[in-house]
């Protein structure tokens, strides 16, 4: 059995150890606050580390947009072209399904190059401009998923290979095919 003196010694030791740990914790807390304050000084709250992309469309997309716009004006001037539309703004998981969030997450970060809408902004069909990156395995998988998701939502999608020059007749021909597909023809 321990004597009272030994017991006081052990308690004193643990008390001093506890106080030392608390002192270290306060030191590290203050140290971390200084680091955070220094980082906040580098990135003030009203200035965030972003910059403009300058252009919404790449040169290839702009080139196609001009040809598409020209073709649409001669096809049906009331149609609207929207570019770089988030897939989740075009389709959504069906209400009440199990794992709704999982299916939403699969579409929330994907975009469609062009969406063609009526004058009332009803979605008619989508267009993906396919450059050489679309031949990569991961991109093929992404395209297959997007195509399937749009098909399940009954929204046609046209894939148009990038080109040096676009033929309005070919674009209109593809538009007719997409419109017929959207009408169930």
pLDDT over 60 (residue 1): no
pTM: 0.70
- Please, which pLDDT band fits residue 37 given cuts at 50, 70 and 90? confident
For the chain, the domain total comes to: 2
Same structural domain, 75 and 95: yes
Supply the range of the domain harboring residue 36: 1-50
Same structural domain, 15 and 64: no
- E strand residue ranges, the chain: 80-86, 111-117, 123-130, 157-161
- CA 114 to mean position of chain CA atoms: 15
Same structural domain, 43 and 105: no
Same structural domain, 45 and 132: no
Classify the phi-psi angles of 96: left when phi > 0, otherwise alpha if psi is within -120 to 50, otherwise beta.
left
């Amino acid at each position: 059995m321990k004597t009272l003196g030994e017991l006081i010694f052990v308690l004193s030791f643990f008390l001093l150890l506890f106080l030392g740990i608390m002192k270290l914790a306060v030191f590290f807390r203050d140290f971390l606050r200084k680091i955070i304050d220094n980082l906040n000084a580098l990135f003030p709250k009203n200035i965030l580390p972003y910059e403009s992309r300058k252009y919404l469309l790449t040169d290839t997309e702009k080139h196609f947009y001009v040809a598409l716009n020209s073709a649409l004006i001669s096809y049906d001037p009331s149609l609207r072209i929207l570019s770089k539309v988030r897939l989740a703004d075009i389709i959504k998981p069906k209400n009440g399904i199990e794992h709704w969030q999982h299916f939403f997450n699969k579409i929330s970060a994907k975009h469609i190059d062009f969406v063609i809408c009526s004058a009332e902004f009803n979605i008619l069909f989508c267009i993906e401009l396919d450059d050489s990156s679309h031949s990569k395995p991961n991109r093929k998988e992404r395209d297959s998923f997007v195509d399937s998701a749009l098909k399940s939502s009954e929204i046609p999608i046209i894939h148009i290979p990038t080109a040096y020059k676009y033929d309005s007749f070919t674009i209109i021909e593809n538009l007719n095919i997409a419109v017929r597909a959207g009408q169930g023809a």
